[in-house]
Each structure stands twice: as structure tokens, then as C-alpha cells.
Amino acid sequence: MSGYESLIWEQDGHVASVTLNRPEKKNAMSWTMFEEIKAVFDHASLDPEVRCLVITGAGGSFCSGADLTDPANLVTSPFELKDRMRKVHDVARAVLTCSVPTIAKVTGVAAGAGCNLALGMDLVAASTEGSFAELFIKRGLVVDFGGSWVLTRLLPLNKAKELALLGETISATEADRLGILNRLCSPDEVDVVTTDLAGRLAAMPPRTASMIKENLNRASGGGLTDALDQESLTQALCFASDDTKEAVLAWVEKRTPRFTGR
């Protein structure tokens, strides 16, 4: 994939990497970037060659949130604002429901919508130089880009309220203490750690990984009966798949399985 104005798409085997590429703005989201983020996550969900998607930022920052200096981001009438938020949340929905495993590699500031973009990934690897901030309240705004959904699933309610109501910037070390990171790395290690995680995820049976991800997302907001029903349905699909047969055969033959997504 190519031709993006605000992103860089790279693919190595089954791992796709997306770099937010507006370093002069700390990768703040122009309206073009919002639209391109949706496009790459939609593509990753539909492309069988993509089994893991990594997102990061150029120039030492992850993303400083929406670019409020971009005229295309500034609408004024209530109806325009309503339509714009629907479109923004279409982007968030594409991110949060992406069918392949996703990883955020955070090497600097992740603020506002950029914070929720990072925390909306399945796994978060951050450098000790990274930071996270739900800045919305300091701009007179409510948390958006799915942040109220993400925060209340990652944190106890009182801690989610603390981040959202105070709008304070927390270090990656503090984020790790709160349990919202999967890996806290030195600046020299974060690339290697993220590459290793992505390679391991991409080596898993892709349909199974997608169903596990969906099951966990649904179970986090649903009841026991729904979770068990979903497990039954998806497990039946697994037993009928070529990948499960390959996994068993590889185990018997003591070799690395070769998964095809079928």
C-alpha cells in the first residue's frame, strides 16, 4: 500500500507497520490522518496477508491528539459537529474492531485521541521516554476516540476517572504500574521488543487469533452465557479448520506449524 499523505505503510511478511508521519506537529491528527488511519485499519482487517499491525509515530512522538490548527478539523455548527464526531468514531471503531492483533509502539507523547489510539491497541509497548495524557478536560472537552470505553476496560473505575478528570500526563513507568502497558522498555530495546511481539503474533493461526480477540472483547462487556456461547461457536470453527489440524500434526511431528488461515 502506498500513496498516503500523513502515514507510512510498510510490510514485512505478515507484519504491517504504520507510522504516523507528521513529526513537525508531534504527529497530531489532521483530518487527512484521521481518514487514512481508518483506511489502513480497514485494509488490515480484510487483507489475509496481514496478521499483525503495528502503529507508531515518527520523530520521537507517538501522537499529540487532534490537530486543532487544521482547518478541516474545525467545524462550528451543532449539526456539523455531530456529523464530524460520527466520522471520528467511525475511525475509532475501525481501530478498536480491527480483526488482526494490533500493537502500539509508544516512544514519546501519546495525548488526547493519540492516547486512546495507543491504548486501543491489543498490546502496548512503550519506551521509558513515553508518556500518556487524557488531555480532553483541559480543552473543555469530554474524552473521545473510544477513550471512555478503553479506559474503563483497562483500569478500575476510580483510576479511569482520575486520568480523565485531571487530564494529567503520566510517564510510561506510571502507565506500566497501572497495568496499561504490556512491555516497558529502554529506548534502545523498544524496537526489538515490538518486532519480537509482532513476529510471534503473526506466527499464530490468524483466524484463531482473530476469534480469540473478538471473544475477549465481547466477554469484557457481556455476561457469562454470551461468553460461553461465543466460545462454543468459535471452537467448533477451529476444530473444522486446516490450521487446527496442522497444529496437532506439527505437535506430533515435533516441528513448527505452518498456518495458512484456512
The pLDDT tens digits for 189-232 are 999 999 999 999 999 999 999 999 999 988 887 788 888 888 88
pTM of the model: 0.92
On average, the pLDDT of the chain sits at: 92
Task: Please tell me which residue, 52 or 224, carries the higher pLDDT value.
Answer: 52
Give CA–CA dist 41/53, Å, rounded.
8
* CATH code reported for the domain at 7-202: 3.90.226.10
- Helical H runs in the chain? 31-46, 78-96, 113-119, 147-154, 157-166, 172-178, 190-202, 206-219, 224-239, 242-253
For residue 1, pLDDT beyond 70 = no
pLDDT attached to residue 213: 93
pLDDT attached to residue 69: 85
* Average pLDDT over every residue of 131-157: 93
CA distances (Å), origin 202, targets 2, 11, 42, 101 = 22, 12, 18, 8
